Amino acid sequence: MKILVVEDEENIRKVIKKILEINEFEVLEARDGAEAMDIFYSEKIDLIILDWMLPKVNGIEVLKMVRQESSLPILMLTAKSQEDDEVEGLEVGANDYLKKPFSLKILVTRVKKLLNLIGGKKKYGILEVDLNNHKVYIKGKDTNISPKEFELLNYLILNRGIALNREKILADVWDFAYDGDYRTVDTHIKTLRKKIGAEHITTVRGIGYKFEVDKR
């Protein structure tokens, strides 16, 4: 999984990069908010570790811009100690918050938790997703989805509630540049709907697809 570390203090950034790589994550680095957004738009990112105080574009502004495009997990880092600052970050869309100085062990644990790597199985309405074994169950019955279907479904779940266009899905799930042909995405969505139920993936006219939780 690919993590973007956005931190202007090089020593902190390098220490975070090293501990994440020890835990077998791929790490990209950004020194400021502008560089972070360039990487966000050009790479498939699974999680962002984002410092609050950044040059050029601060962390809160980066958070706001990312939230306009994606619901991927974001862990905020800050030297700020005021409760109001923490509340602001969480209200804008941060998933978790760590105050400096912090334990690297706690950092890694928080990252794994945000990436759903701790806990094994997650429930979304009648769907049960087994992240360890890449299986999906409906009311206990295995749906027998393929590895690529699982990757596509997990991507939609991570971005649940957000309408994703086919071009972005193609780039993020298949690492393909858009060539004018969306059939790969449409075909996999059609097959996935047959296996998990059409109600879980809705078509947003003029945009693309969105994952919905069936609350039955």
Sheet (strand 74-78) strand order: 26-30, 2-6, 47-51, 74-78, 96-99
Distance of CA 35 to the CA centre of its chain: 19
CB 163 within 8 A of CB 208: yes
CB 131 within 8 A of CB 117: yes
Q: Any idea of the CA torsion for 20, 25, 29, 33, to the nearest 10 degrees?
A: -100
Output the pLDDT for position 177. 63
Give bridge partners of residue 56 from the DSSP assignment: none
Output the pLDDT for position 206. 87
Only one residue has tokens 């759903």, namely 116
205, pLDDT greater than 60? yes
Last residue of a domain, one of 69, 96, 116: 116
Would 216 be classed as within a structural domain?
no
Q: pLDDT for 88-117, tens place per residue?
A: 767 778 888 888 888 999 999 999 888 875
Residues 84, 15, single domain; the answer is yes
Closest-CA residue to 95 (of 119, 58, 67, 118) = 67
Contacts of 171 (CB under 8 A, 6+ apart): 44, 177, 178
Task: State which residues form the domain around 72.
Answer: 2-116
Residues 64, 164, single domain; the answer is no
Total domains, the chain = 2
Only one residue has tokens 């975070």, namely 16
Q: Are strands 141-142 and 135-138 parallel, antiparallel or unpaired?
A: antiparallel
28, pLDDT greater than 90? yes
Report the distance separating Cα 62 and Cα 99, nearest Å: 18
Output the pLDDT for position 122. 81
Task: Name the pLDDT band for 13 (thresholds 50, 70, 90).
Answer: very high
11, pLDDT greater than 80? yes
Last residue of a domain, one of 57, 92, 116: 116
Q: pLDDT for 129-159, tens place per residue?
A: 887 778 899 988 999 999 999 999 988 988 8
Last residue of a domain, one of 83, 98, 116: 116
Would 198 be classed as within a structural domain?
yes
